[in-house]
Structures are given as structure tokens and as C-alpha cells.
Amino acid sequence: MKVFIGSAEQVAKEAAKRYVELLNKKPNAVLGYATGSTPLGLYSELIRLNQAGAFSYKEATTFNLDEYVGLDGSHDQSYRYFMNENLFNHVDIDKSRTFVPSGLDTSAETAAAYDEAIEKAGGIDIQLLGIGNNGHIGFNEPGTPFSSKTHMVELTQNTREVNSRFFKSIDEVPTHAVTMGVKTVMNAKSIILIALGKAKAPIIRETIMGEVTPEVPASVLQLHPFVEIYLDEEAASLL
């Protein structure tokens, strides 16, 4: 694992460089994207660089990690909506090649089709990850088998509480999500995990220095050959 530590701004700039390098070398790259607060700085930087002509998304394909069950893409808390608002609407991407799991069709067939679509596209070149305070990656909560592919999950009470900051009340936070599995994530050719803020410091320590166990889903990243972890000083404070 390579670990980069800097300010949140430096993290966004350094991580963005990986995308610029990749897309200039391989314009039809396949990118795995994430939602939440963590990637916002990176997405702003990617928008800036894309608009400045540093790289193009024209031939790229994207697959997002997860989506809330029950939310249509037009719902302002759906992850499809988030991606459109925070990245896709501002760059030269072909939206028909941007994929987010369906929050409405939660069948096992549709979940399997998501993994197949990733494989058919050639596999993910860079998978972006945030991390939950409990070590979740995507919505793979503690205990999820490392062999899991895209599937529907029940969100933990803790995850719903943490994410209720985006909703009017916790009752509105969906109880389930569809997420790429741990195996789907590990199949990516390279992985960038970003963590910002003090609240992430204990789980970052466990992820990097602790035992590899499904109880800390992100610890599986110790087994991947190409992982870069970008941390601000607060998230790195317990290393």
C-alpha cells in the first residue's frame, strides 16, 4: 500500500493526477466511482482539470459503487443524482456510459448483470473508495464475505445515522442499498481510497495496520497489489 498524507486540498490534487495520467494514457479507461462527502474535493478538481482541457472523459466508462434501495435517479439523495450534480453534468462524459446500480430493481439477476457489465467493459482501472467509520467500503458492512459480488444489503443503524445528515430525518434514510461486493472492488486493477477528518483516524489505523478480517471490510485492501491511500493529517493521526 502506498500512503499519501497532506491537506485535504493536496489529497484532491494528488488523487486527481492519477485520473489525468490514466485517461491521457488510456482514454477509454473504466473508472469506479464513489459518493459521500469524501470525494467532493477530488470531483471539483477533476471538473476543473477537465474543463481546462487537461484530459477528456469522452471515451471513458464509469461504474458507481452503490445506490440506495427505493430511490429513483431523480431523487435528490440518490447516488445517481449525486454523481450527475457533482461530476457528470460538468464534464465531457457520455452519460450513457455512466452506470450506477439500480435502486429500484434489486433482483439477483440485475446485481449479477452489474458485475458482468464491469467485466465486459474490460474491468475497472481505478476504483475510488471512501471508508465508513466501521470500515465499510461501498456498503459492504462488517461481516460481509470477501467473496461477495454486487448484492443488496441491509444498512447498519450506525451507517443510517451517519448518513441521516443528508436527509430531513433518519426515518427517510433507506434501510437497504445495492452495492458492489468486496470481490467486485478487489477485482479492480488499482484502488484509491481517500479518508478525511479525525473521525476516520481509528478505522484508518485498523485498515492499514490491523488484522485482515471481514469484520473490518477495508482491511481486505492489504491483500490488493495496487492500493493508494490518500489521507489528510487528521485521518492519518493514529498511524
Q: Is 94 a catalytic site residue? A: no
**Please, which residue, 6 or 197, has the CB nearer to ligand F6R?**
197
Sequence-ordered list of residues with C-beta below 8 angstroms from that of 204, at least 6 positions apart, any chain: 131, 195, 229, 231, 235, 236, 238, 239
Is 134 a catalytic site residue?
Answer: yes
Active-site residue (options: 75, 84, 134, 234): 134
Given the residues 45, 115, 125, 141, the one annotated as active site = 141
End-to-end CA distance of the chain: 14
Provide, rounded to whole angstroms, the least separation between the CB of residue 197 and ligand F6R: 8
141 catalytic per annotation: yes
Candidates 45, 50, 115, 136; catalytic one:
136
Is 66 one of the annotated active-site residues of the chain? Answer: yes
Cα–Cα distances in angstroms (integers) from residue 39 to residues 32, 87, 115, 176, 212, in the given order: 12, 10, 23, 22, 25
Cell reading at 15: 488523487
C-alpha cell at 192: 484509491
Residue with smallest beta-carbon separation from ligand F6R: 130
Q: How far is the CB of 36 from ligand F6R (least distance, A)?
A: 3
State the residues that interact with ligand F6R by CB under 6 A.
Answer: 34-38, 65-66, 130-132, 136-139
Kindly tell me which of 61 and 144 has the beta carbon lying closer to ligand F6R.
Answer: 144
CA atoms of 26 and 113, how far apart (whole Å)? 25
Residues recognised as catalytic: 66, 134, 136, 141
